[in-house]
Amino acid sequence: MKKILVLGAGRSTYSLINYLLEQAGQRQWKVRVGDHSLAMAEEKCGAHELGEPFRFDVNDEAQQRKEIAAADLVISMLPAAFHPLVAQRCIEYGVNMVTASYVAPEMRTLEQQAREKGILILNECGLDPGIDHMSAMKVIDQVRENGGELTAFETFTGGLLAPGKDENPWEYKFTWNPRNVVLAGQGIVKFVQQNKYKYIPYHKLFRRTEQVYVPGHGYFEGYANRDSLKYLDVYGLQGIKTLYRGTFRRPGFCRAWDVFVQLGATDDSYLVEGVAQMTHRDFINSFLSYNPHDSVELKLAHYLGLDLEGPEMHRLKWIGMFDQTRIGLEKGTPAQILEHILKKKWTLKEEDRDMIVMWHKFEYLEEGKEKEIHSTLVAVGDDPVNTAMSKTVGLPVGIAAKLLLEGKINEKGVHIPIKREIYDPILQELSTLGFEMIEEHKK
């Protein structure tokens, strides 16, 4: 019986672990799920006879070695900083590894060691990164095989709130790591547009958005991801005129979020004083000038040039930013405090459904003619646990694990899923599970 070791049992692992357990009986698998919280591991395994939840401490070297040495395949769903450590152990014991996270520079340094050991460390095999790579490369390879030349590639992905009864003006709730949402976009954004290199500093990012219409689902606004330029080499697109990767939100979100950016409320570099006694209103006021005669709302509107009755102020009021409600933390950075406040209104309720929207635009020349393809994926979750985010992050990882255990992927070293041997079978199975990119030829 083959042993799959899943390290980490957070919110994005629900569908992954379900998938593995559903396959375990007929494929003779044992699925061991380790997490710092035994309760979370037990919750994900349920009562399945082939699931084994256990408490796992990634900092316990003896436990690391014991568990990884006994596994036939390791899936790391731990915080990203721990993946290189797990990968080093996998190399040591000759065990293949899959993860949904970005390839860290430390992971790249393990390429030769992984090859020499004859194993694959497959990264970026979730949603974004993951399905975005696979679905993009499928079209890019098709264009090239037909003699075409790609001239522009734009791609956006968003984890959003599906339309429902909740009159949430942000049209957004947390469907993945809230901390990553609060810190999104920090640093310098880089992309290429019509052969010109472009850069957007963080304090301007949420003002530089573009509108995209997705048929049947309405308009979305996108802001740029940090570094699109690294994908020139990853996708083999050197010489392309435009390459732009971004994140989707519903219209109006970015202008309102920009309020937090301009205030400094997303800063994670220092601790705020007096947090234990602070209210939501105090938190906002701490970034504004002292004026005993003006309200916090008036000072904020004046400082950032907002209309007191405008959409940005409406969104801030709805989220409770001006309420005299205790924050509920003993200490924290501005970013941690903001995250804690937002969780109170942005946590999925029983009636909520999340939605994933991915959209690619390819422009290319074929026989001298300009052509364009739009490729779209829209997925809606079943409930606050079996979410679209959990499915689209977890299922590609599970399918890749199955293919590796069956000997159907022969790549060695440190990779992401951009080769046909990897992306074709994963995309095909995702399609049978209801997750299919719909391609529309525009020209």
Q: Which of 123, 142, 172 is the last residue of a domain?
A: 123
| Residue pair 142/420 in contact by the 8 Å Cβ criterion | no
The per-residue DSSP string of 283-351 comes to HHHTTS---TTS-HHHHHHHHHT--TTSHHHHHHHHTTTTS--B---SS--HHHHHHHHHHHHHSPPTT
Domain end marker among 89, 123, 157: 123
- C-alpha–C-alpha distance, residues 298 and 304, integer Å: 10
Give the span between the Cα atoms of 324 and 175, in whole angstroms: 27
Residue 74 lies in a domain: yes
Q: Phi and psi (nearest 5°) for 243?
A: -140, 120
Query: Is residue 396 domain-resident?
Result: no
Distance CA 282, CA 324 (A): 8
202/296 same-domain check = no
The CA-atom distances, in angstroms, between 428 and each of 51, 84, 215, 399 are: 27, 30, 23, 10
pLDDT at residue 72 in the model: 97
DSSP category for residue 441: E
Shared domain check, 375 and 238 = yes
Same domain for 227 and 170:
yes
CA distance 293 to 302: 13
Has residue 440 been placed in a domain?
Answer: no
Domain with 168 in it: 131-256+350-380
CA–CA distance, 155 with 244 (Å, rounded to integer)? 6
Strands 369-380 and 438-441: antiparallel
Kindly state whether residues 137 and 194 are assigned to the same domain: yes
Which secondary-structure segment (H or E) carries 100? none
CA distance 135 to 142: 11
Confidence (pTM): 0.93
Report CA torsion sign: 179, 37, 24, 81.
positive
Residue 433 lies in a domain: no
Residue ending a domain, choose from 123, 149, 184: 123
Structure tokens at 159: 């984890």
- Residue 224 belongs to domain with CATH number: 3.30.360.10
Sign of the alpha-carbon torsion through 36, 39, 45, 48: positive
Identify whether 395 is part of a domain. Answer: no
**What phi, psi does 216 have (nearest 5°)?**
85, -10
Count Cβ atoms below 10 Å from residue 36 Cβ, excluding itself.
14
Instruction: Provide CB contacts within 8 A for 49, sequence distance 6+.
Output: none
Q: Quick check: is 398 in a domain?
A: no
- Are both 114 and 197 inside the same structural domain? no
> Residue 129 has what DSSP assignment?
T
CATH number at residue 84: 3.40.50.720
Q: How far apart are CA 279 and CA 257, in angstroms?
A: 20
Contact 373, 142 (CB under 8 A): no
Question: How many Cβ atoms from other residues are within 10 Å of residue 353's Cβ?
Answer: 18
200 and 282 assigned to the same domain: no
* 91 and 63 belong to one structural domain: yes
Q: Is residue 252 part of a domain?
A: yes
Q: Do 60 and 103 belong together in one domain?
A: yes
Q: Which residues are registered as beta bridge partners of 154? A: 244, 361
Answer yes or no: is 412 within a domain: no
Kindly state whether residues 168 and 185 are assigned to the same domain: yes
CA-CA distance, 183 to 176, in Å (whole number)?
Answer: 13
Is the torsion defined by CA of 389, 393, 396, 397 positive or negative? negative
Residues 187 and 297 occupy one common structural domain: no
- CA atoms within a 13 Å half-sphere pointing along the CA-CB vector of 297: 15
Give yes or no: residues 91 and 236 share one domain. Answer: no
Query: What CA–CA distances, in Å, run from 109 to 82, 105, 377, 422?
Result: 15, 7, 34, 22
Residues 304 and 367 reside in one and the same domain: no
Domain count, the chain: 3
pLDDT along the chain (443 residues), means of 10: 95 93 94 96 94 96 96 96 96 97 94 97 95 97 95 96 87 91 92 96 95 94 94 94 97 97 97 97 97 95 96 98 97 98 95 96 94 96 93 97 96 96 97 94 78
**pLDDT value for 177:** 86
